[in-house]
Chains A and B, each alone.
Chain A
Amino acid sequence: MNIIVCIKRVPDTADADLAIDRSGRDIEKTGLAFDLNEWDSYAIEEAILLKERFGGTVTVLSMGGEDTNESLRKCLAMGADEAIRLTDPAFSGSDGFATAKVLAQAIRRLPYDLILTGTQAEDDGFGEVGVMVARLLGLSHVAIVTRVEMEDGKIRAHRELEGGLEEVVEVKLPALLTIQTGINEPRYVSIMGIRKVAKKEIKVWGLSDLGLKEEEVGLKGSDIGLERLFLPLVGEGAQILEGKPEEVAAKVFEILKDKGGLV
């Protein structure tokens, strides 16, 4: 079984104090740590688990700049067999739709039975690239998958709905699944593990290798374009409790007493 996993390298922003840069169209990225998109770390783990059970190969694919090699190497260290980076000046400014076209075009050149993507990217959060790739390739798909079972060329997948409800569906292979967090426990890779794959070749494909035209990608080939970034309005916002921990604690006690938060 040949599995392709699409991964994206994103800045880790949960803990960071974000600022908008001078262009007003990007965030200040200096000082931010980058890593594999959280959803994609579950997707690559799922692919490796399937490979361990059923054999075959795992190929990781990412559209991104040279820094992306670091995330691709992490996937190789986790157990992927091959890595391909899609890069071209023409790709910059691509939204989810343009990204999906680039990924689908690369996948057409590869053998596959199953494609895995993350449910969404932590940065732009389109939640669309996986399902778009599936349709561009004419494949069946399942989005937001929390469990995968395989038998007789078919996948039985649990799909997450709202309120803790799940839907079980069956798809024929080849198919594409978008993977939800929590489906497995992504394995840890040590620095040693990454060092071992340091010399492994990462193929690089550009616009002409993929046979794409400039107007199909980048901003011109996108559905939407960015106008500006701004900080969300905080609205009323929280009343911030200030003071030494002791004083804050006393205030919290009063609030809890007042609002029925003490039993």
Chain B
Amino acid sequence: MKEIMVVAEHRRGELRDITWEMLSKGRSLAEAMEGTLSVVLLGKGVKPFAEALRSKAHRVYLIEDDRLEFYNSETYERVLFQFLSEKKPFLTLIGHTAQGMDFVPALAIRLGWPLATDCIGIEPKDDSFTLIRQIYGGKINAEVSFVRKAPYLVTLRSGAFSVEEKKPIEGEIVTTSSPLSDEVLGRRFIEYVEASVGEVDITQADILVAVGRGIKDAENIPLVKEFADSIGGALACSRPVVDKKWLPKSCQVGTSGKTVKPKVYIAIGISGAFQHVAGMKGSGTIIAINKDPKAPIFSVAHYGIVGDLFKIVPVIKDKIKEMKK
């Protein structure tokens, strides 16, 4: 029977959402292929996670080692290389996250197994899979297939697969030994550094006006600031605006910034890359202003305005001032 393996992701005492997403997708794949679903968990003192994962898989492989207290690409690669070469699951699912992007490509080389990264769709086809990936910042989808034969490695995009409620499995926990010894590593974990909250906590705002690269220049920021002020909203932004230092990091919305859920989110000149959308798709009402009618932001927005922000935003701003009176 074909085995589908999920590599659980956790950080600082919490299982990350991607783990449940992979298990949900893994379960439907296992059902479609009449296979079994397993999950492998690496860490120190992570037994409680194994208990939590049991309901979602037939087997939970638990590999505990003091050296796995903090994630390190080199220890992860060694442990998973050993484990996966023994088990040879037909398909292994891992998150296309900061963690997955860091160790999976190296693991694939070491195993000599084919890898497809950042997939938003995966379905069985003959003795392999059809995979969907996004290219050009989410503007085009690509259907791809494996050139080589199984075993396969696939990384899944966070948030692309929903977590479906299914009958609990209550699988077995299989304690597995760690192959690590006190070998010298080339890389060492030092510490975590927390982001600063900033003057305005955008996660607390009811109304957010978010600006993207479409604003073109720092000197145009006051335009959106005035608009935000006119409706009593706070200013937020996409990553390039922070990269260019037009606004502070504390304003950034997205996977590497903040997750926000305001009543109203207005995205101005933001294309809607998944790393941005992940941070704002839970907003009550989303309004997008973009000159490109095919911008991916329009597929998450409730209302869209297609056009030049420099022509539209000033008019809306004035109209609101007028109508508020």
Known: A142-B102, A226-B142. A13 touches B117 (CB 8 A): no
Q: Is B189 within 8 A of A238, CB to CB?
A: no
Interface: B232 (CB within 8 A)? yes
CB distance from A61 to the nearest CB of B (A): 18
Contact assessment for A224 and B114 in the assembled complex, using a CB-CB cutoff below 8 Å: yes
Q: Is the CB of B304 within 8 A of A263?
A: no
B141 at the interface (CB under 8 A from A): yes
CB-defined contacts of B186 to chain A, threshold 8 Å: 139-140, 171-172, 175
Query: Beyond A15-B291, A119-B101: 20 further Cβ-contacts under 8 Å?
Result: A15-B292, A100-B105, A131-B104, A140-B185, A142-B102, A163-B257, A164-B194, A185-B245, A223-B114, A223-B146, A223-B148, A227-B143, A229-B141, A233-B299, A238-B298, A248-B307, A255-B285, A260-B206, A261-B263, A263-B232
Residues of A within 8 A of B87 (CB): none
Given contacts A168-B191, A241-B303, A250-B319, contact A127 B117 (CB under 8 A): yes
Asked if B134 and A125 sit within 8 Å, CB to CB, the answer is yes
Give 22 A-B contacts (CB < 8 Å), ordered by A residue: A13-B137, A13-B139, A17-B293, A96-B105, A126-B118, A135-B105, A140-B185, A142-B187, A161-B99, A164-B256, A167-B191, A168-B193, A223-B147, A227-B143, A227-B144, A232-B141, A240-B298, A240-B303, A245-B307, A255-B287, A255-B303, A262-B320
Residue B164, interface by CB 8 Å? no
Residues on A with beta carbons closer than 8 Å to the beta carbon of B163? none
Q: How far is the CA of A256 from the CA of B228 in the complex (A)?
A: 12
- In the complex, per-residue mask of B75-109: 1 if CB is within 8 Å of any chain A CB, else 0: 00000000000000000000011110111111011
Cβ–Cβ contact A248 & B305, under 8 A: yes
Distance from A102 Cβ to chain B, minimum over Cβ atoms (Å): 14
Choose among A167, A229, A238 the residue that contacts B140 (Cβ–Cβ < 8 A): A229
Q: Judging by beta carbons under 8 Å apart, are B301 and A141 in contact?
A: no
Rounded to whole angstroms, the CA-CA distance of A229 and B141 in the bound complex is 6
Q: With CB as the reference atom, state the residue of chain A lying closest to B296.
A: A232
A-facing residues in B179-219 (Cβ within 8 Å): 185-195, 206-207, 213
The bracket for how many chain B residues form the interface is 35 or more
Which of B11, B140, B185, B264 has a CB less than 8 Å from the CB of A18? B140
The reply to whether B263 and A224 contact each other, CB–CB distance below 8 Å, is no
Closest Cβ neighbor of A134 among chain B residues: B106
A20 CB-CB contact with B under 8 Å? yes
Instruction: Decide if A144 is an interface residue (CB 8 Å cutoff).
Output: yes
Q: Is A259 a contact partner of B319 (Cβ separation < 8 A)? A: no
Check if B305 sits within 8 Å of A163, measured CB to CB.
no
A156 in contact (CB, < 8 A): yes
CB-based contact B299/A232 at 8 Å = yes
Answer yes or no: A103 CB below 8 A from chain B CBs.
no
Q: Is the CB–CB distance between A18 and B187 below 8 Å?
A: no
Query: Which among A11, A159, A181, A220 is the interface contact of B102 at CB below 8 angstroms?
Result: A159
Residues of A within 8 A of B (CB): 11, 13-18, 20, 27, 96-97, 100, 119, 122-132, 134-136, 139-144, 156, 158-172, 175, 181-182, 185, 219-220, 222-235, 237-241, 245-246, 248-250, 252-253, 255-256, 259-263
Bits for B284-325, please: 1 = Cβ < 8 Å to A, else 0.
Answer: 111110011110101101111111000110011011100110
Instruction: Tell which of A134, A226, A259 touches B144, judged by Cβ atoms closer than 8 Å.
Output: A226
Please provide the 9 A-B residue pairs with the shortest distance between their CB atoms, ordered closest to farther.
A263-B232, A164-B195, A140-B186, A261-B264, A238-B304, A182-B243, A249-B319, A223-B114, A131-B105
Whether B137 contacts A14 by the Cβ 8 Å rule is: yes
List the A side residues contacting B315 at CB < 8 Å: 245-246, 248-249
B223 CB-CB contact with A under 8 Å: no
Which residues of chain B (133-185) have a CB below 8 Å from chain A?
A: 133-148, 185
Asked if B54 is an interface residue, CB under 8 A from chain A, the answer is no
Distance A96 CA – B117 CA, assembled complex (angstroms): 10
C-alpha spacing A225/B259, complex, angstroms: 35
Q: B213-247: contact bitstring with A at CB < 8 Å (1 yes, 0 no)?
A: 10000000000000000011100000110111100
Beyond A162-B256, A182-B243, A231-B141, whether A131 also contacts B284 by CB under 8 A is no
Q: Would you call B146 and A169 a contact (CB within 8 A)?
A: no
* Contact of B255 with A by CB under 8 A: yes
- Complex Cα–Cα for A27 and B136 (A): 10
Residues in B with CB closer than 8 Å to A220 are 147
Which residue of B has the minimal Cβ distance to A180?
Answer: B256
